[in-house]
Structure 1
Amino acid sequence: MAGPTTAESGERHQRESGPHRPPRTGRLLRLRMLIILLCAFGLVVGGCIWLLYGSPWLRVQRVSVSGARVLTETQVREAAGVRLGTPLISLDTDAIGARLRRRLPRIDSVDVVRSWPRGIGLKVTERTPVLVVGDGGKFVEVDGEGVRFATVPHPPAGVPALQLTVSRSVGLRRFGIDRLTREAARVAREVPAAVARDIRTVKVGSYDSISLELTGGRSVMWGSDEKGGAKAATLSALMRAAPRARHFDVSVPTAPASSGS
């Protein structure tokens, strides 16, 4: 009997040795596809970087200012120091805000935002003076936290003067002018609105001896800044109960007093 032919032997060997491995050309195709995808990804990333940093389209062309009342928009822009043509993405908004507050102490806070594609917005909040201190013919504005933030040639309308009559005593050495100024500013801020309109001078004799001079020759002994809310409510009630009184004492809000007529 004749043995198997060569073709039959080849088929049997193929069945016994299992399926064929993927052809070499398939691995090459997958490798090429991976290289193409990596190149495409690199092009996209490079394009994005160029768009943000190198292209002329996403660069600062305008700096807008809002919220300024006393300061001018030009002053704010110049203090911000934002150069036109700078890529928007490279601007440090925190540094711009810090620079503005340092160069313009009148600014209490500022919000620096990118306005894509070509703008920067500066939204400033200015400090509001609650007291003014005379200084050699000029006047220093003081805000509600006792911060001296601006020197002006004329006192702002409706802002009471701060008069420090503190002697070189133990109290002054203990608290200091800055601390006493903060206390006076807080008192001016806590006084009822109806009374605040009539304040002409806030006098500070010591930490616990702060008084107010009002229009019409009236005065208020406030004491220290402690229990400010209770003192404000007591003063309002006392003025309603004794509308013709000239002197009021709320330094101890549980035992107020009024005198004069």
Structure 2
Amino acid sequence: MAGPTTAERGERQQELSGPPPVRRSKRPRLRRIVILAVATVLLGGGSVWLLYGSPWLRVERVSVSGTRVLTPAQVRSVAAVPVGAPLVSVDTDAIEARLRRKLPRIDTVDVVRSWPHGIGLKLTERTPVLVMEKGKDFIEVDDEGVRFATVPQAPKGVPVLELTVSRPGSAAASLRRFGVDGLVREAVQVAADIPAAVAHTTRTLKVRSYDDISLELSDGRTVAWGSADNGAAKARTLTALMKAAPDARHFDVTVPTAPASAGS
């Protein structure tokens, strides 16, 4: 019996291996890529136009919050926010730097975009804890020792800082070692540690040297404080000493463990 012919063997092999693969056209895939690319370009261009070229996302108002001594009008004038410009193009860092440079009364400032039409200027002002006399005016000093503003009248309840360090000896040595700024910071630290009941009546804070700081109260009583070290202990001691000797005119807490009072 004769075997299968060559043609029959080919047909048999095709039946076993299945139909030949169908080649898919690359054109539909290429068309989708082109459509996606065009859509991306159009979307990107539209976004750029919306942010920079459209009339809808532009600066129309500038709000100011946190002012106490400064006025919103002063802050807006210095900030110089470009009203009418695209909101996205406003340089908030430059505005913050300009406000800090031209208005040293500002302690912190945050410039924020308020979509779709606003810029917000959120700030806090420095608070004076001491003032220094300068002719007929007063220089305000904050709790970091920063001299930030000159005013014609001392704020109510803020002690006057007197630096009398021109004498020879330890005073001059303190001035050379710490400088005026360093001594002012020492005075600021003392002002922060004075008991609240005493702080309300403190009229003058005198600095003769680093370790010779004293207080003069509005009723004429005086307190020898010494250096700014151990401020919390000195505050507790002074409070107890004033209760124990209410008629005394002079209190010494330079060494808080060995306080003294005198006068009546």
- Determine which of 231, 235, 238 is the counterpart of 1:232: 235
Shift of 1:14: 7.2
What is the distance in 2 between the residues matched to 1:182 and 1:237? 26
Identity of aligned residues (%): 66
What is residue 259 of structure 1 aligned with on the other side?
Answer: 262
Whether the aligned pair in 1 keeps the contact of 2:106 and 2:124 (CA below 8 Å) is yes
What is the distance in 2 between the residues matched to 1:141 and 1:171? 23
- Give the residue type in structure 1 aligned to 2:22: R
What is residue 145 of structure 1 aligned with on the other side?
Answer: 144
Whether 1:170 aligns to 2:173 is: yes
What is residue 214 of structure 2 aligned with on the other side?
Answer: 211
What is the distance in 2 between the residues matched to 1:248 and 1:74? 48
- Give the residue type in structure 1 aligned to 2:20: P
What is the distance in 1 between the residues matched to 2:228 and 2:49? 58
- Give the residue type in structure 2 aligned to 1:238: L
47-56 vs 10-19, greater mean Cα deviation: 10-19
What is the distance in 2 between the residues matched to 1:12 and 1:52? 68
Shift of 1:18: 4.9
What is the distance in 1 between the residues matched to 2:57 and 2:234? 56
110-119 vs 168-177, greater mean Cα deviation: 168-177
Matched residue SS, 1:129: coil
- Give the residue type in structure 1 aligned to 2:21: H
What is residue 88 of structure 2 aligned with on the other side?
Answer: 89
Matched residue SS, 1:102: helix
Give 1:6-17 correspondences, 5 Å limit: none
Shift of 1:166: 0.6
Assess, with a 3 A threshold, how the Cα gap between structure 1 residues 14 and 41 changes in structure 2: closer, same or farther. farther
Whether 1:19 aligns to 2:20 is: yes
- Determine which of 195, 199, 219 is the counterpart of 2:202: 199
What is the distance in 2 between the residues matched to 1:226 and 1:92? 44
What is residue 131 of structure 2 aligned with on the other side?
Answer: 132
Shift of 1:207: 0.5
Matched residue SS, 2:58: coil
Shift of 1:161: 0.8
Shift of 1:22: 2.1
Q: 1:149-182 deviations in whole A, cap 9, x for unaligned?
A: 0011122122111111112522211111111111
What is residue 243 of structure 1 aligned with on the other side?
Answer: 246
Assess, with a 3 A threshold, how the Cα gap between structure 1 residues 167 and 91 changes in structure 2: closer, same or farther. same
What is residue 70 of structure 1 aligned with on the other side?
Answer: 69
What is the distance in 2 between the residues matched to 1:238 and 1:57? 68
What is the distance in 2 between the residues matched to 1:224 and 1:246? 21
Matched residue SS, 1:217: coil
What is the distance in 2 between the residues matched to 1:140 and 1:119? 35
Q: 1:74-129 deviations in whole A, cap 9, x for unaligned?
A: 11111112110222222232332222111100001112211111111111111111
Shift of 1:37: 1.3
- Output the TM-score relative to the length of structure 2: 0.89
Q: 1:21-70 deviations in whole A, cap 9, x for unaligned?
A: 3243xx10111011111211222222222212222211111110011011
What is residue 44 of structure 1 aligned with on the other side?
Answer: 43
- The unaligned stretches of length 5 or more in structure 2 are none
- Give the residue type in structure 1 aligned to 2:161: L
- The unaligned stretches of length 5 or more in structure 1 are none
What is the distance in 1 between the residues matched to 2:166 and 2:252? 23
Q: What number of residue pairs does the alignment pair up? A: 255
Whether 1:158 aligns to 2:169 is: no
What is residue 186 of structure 2 aligned with on the other side?
Answer: 183
What is the distance in 2 between the residues matched to 1:107 and 1:190? 24
Whether the aligned pair in 1 keeps the contact of 2:82 and 2:90 (CA below 8 Å) is no
- Output the TM-score relative to the length of structure 1: 0.90
